[in-house]
Structure 1
Amino acid sequence: MKLGAFSVSLNVKDIHRSKEFYEGLGFKTFGGDIKQNWLIMKNQQTVIGLFQGMFEKNILTFNPGWDNNAENLEDFTDIRELQKELKKKGFKLIQEANESTEGPAFITIEDPDGNPILIDQHR
């Protein structure tokens, strides 16, 4: 199953303090808008998202159709196909994509410990 680029989306209390902390570890801002309380940061191939006040827990995030530089991939599995495959395998979906649409969509599942997993297709 091709899930796409992986990142960890962190629920942070103070985005400015978190940005400074991760910069100290060698991360550089890659995207986002600190004024809107979210940043995407990267250190080599490792991508993290910092999100203040947007969700309750840290989230494992996958982006079908993107590589680790947020560049479009020629070959990827559409989110709706991933959703069908997950359902066939018995996964419980917390949020589902509308299978009658095309383009951007997302689904959410949880692992056995309640950790949210977001599969978020941007194109």
Structure 2
Amino acid sequence: MELGAFSISLAVQDLETSKSFYEKLGFEVFGGDPAYNYLMLKNGDHVIGLFQGMFDKNILTFNPGWDQNGQNLGSYTDVRELQKALKAQGIEIQNEADETTTGPASFVVIDPDGNPILVDQHI
């Protein structure tokens, strides 16, 4: 099952303080907008999203259709196909993607320890 690019989305209390901290670890801002309370940072292939006031928990994020640089892939497994495959295995889906649509969509699953996993397709 190909889930696409991986990042961790961190629920931060102060965007600027968190940005400064992760820059000291070698991360550089490559996307996002502080005016909308989020930034995307990268160190090599490692991607961290900093999100202030958007959600309560840290989230594991997969982006079908994207590589680790946020560039579109030539071929990928659509988010709706991933959702169907997980449902067939008995995994409960939260915030389901509408399987009658195409293009951008997302869904969430919760792992056995309560960690949210967002599968978020942008293309």
TM over 0.5: yes
The residue that corresponds to 1:82 in the other structure is: 82
- TM-score, with structure 1 as normaliser: 0.99
Q: Report the alpha carbon displacement of residue 26 of structure 1 after superposing the two structures with TM.
A: 0.5
> Whole-Å Cα distance in 2 between the matches of residues 46 and 115 of structure 1?
19
Q: What residue in structure 2 maps to residue 71 of structure 1?
A: 71
1:97 partner amino acid: A
Which sections of structure 1, spanning at least 5 residues, go unmatched? Answer: none
**What per-residue deviation string (whole Å, max 9, x for no partner) do you get for residues 70-123 of structure 1?**
000011000010010000000000110001100000000000010000000000
Question: How many equivalent pairs are there?
Answer: 123
The letter for the 1-side match of 2:60 is: L
Give the counterpart letter for 1:108 in structure 2: V
- Counterpart in the other structure of 2:50: 50
Q: Distance in 2 between matches of 1:89 and 1:95?
A: 17
Q: Does 1:16 align with 2:16?
A: yes
Q: What do residues 12-42 of structure 1 show as CA deviations (whole Å, max 9, x unaligned)?
A: 0000000000000000001000121100000
| In structure 2, distance between residues paired with 1:30 and 1:93 | 31
TM-score of the aligned structures, taking structure 2 as reference length: 0.99
* Structure 2 portions without partners, runs of 5+: none
What is the root-mean-square deviation in Å for CA atoms of aligned residues? 0.4
Between the aligned partners of 2:23 and 2:46, the Cα distance in structure 1 is 13
- Residue of structure 2 in register with 1:114 after alignment: 114
- Separation in 1, partners of 2:30, 2:97: 27
Q: Find the aligned partners of 1:76 and 1:91 in 2 and give their Cα distance.
A: 21
What is the distance in 1 between the residues matched to 2:17 and 2:38?
Answer: 12
Taking every aligned residue pair, what percent have the same amino acid on both sides? 63
Distance (whole Å) between structure 1 residues aligned to residue 80 and residue 51 of structure 2: 26
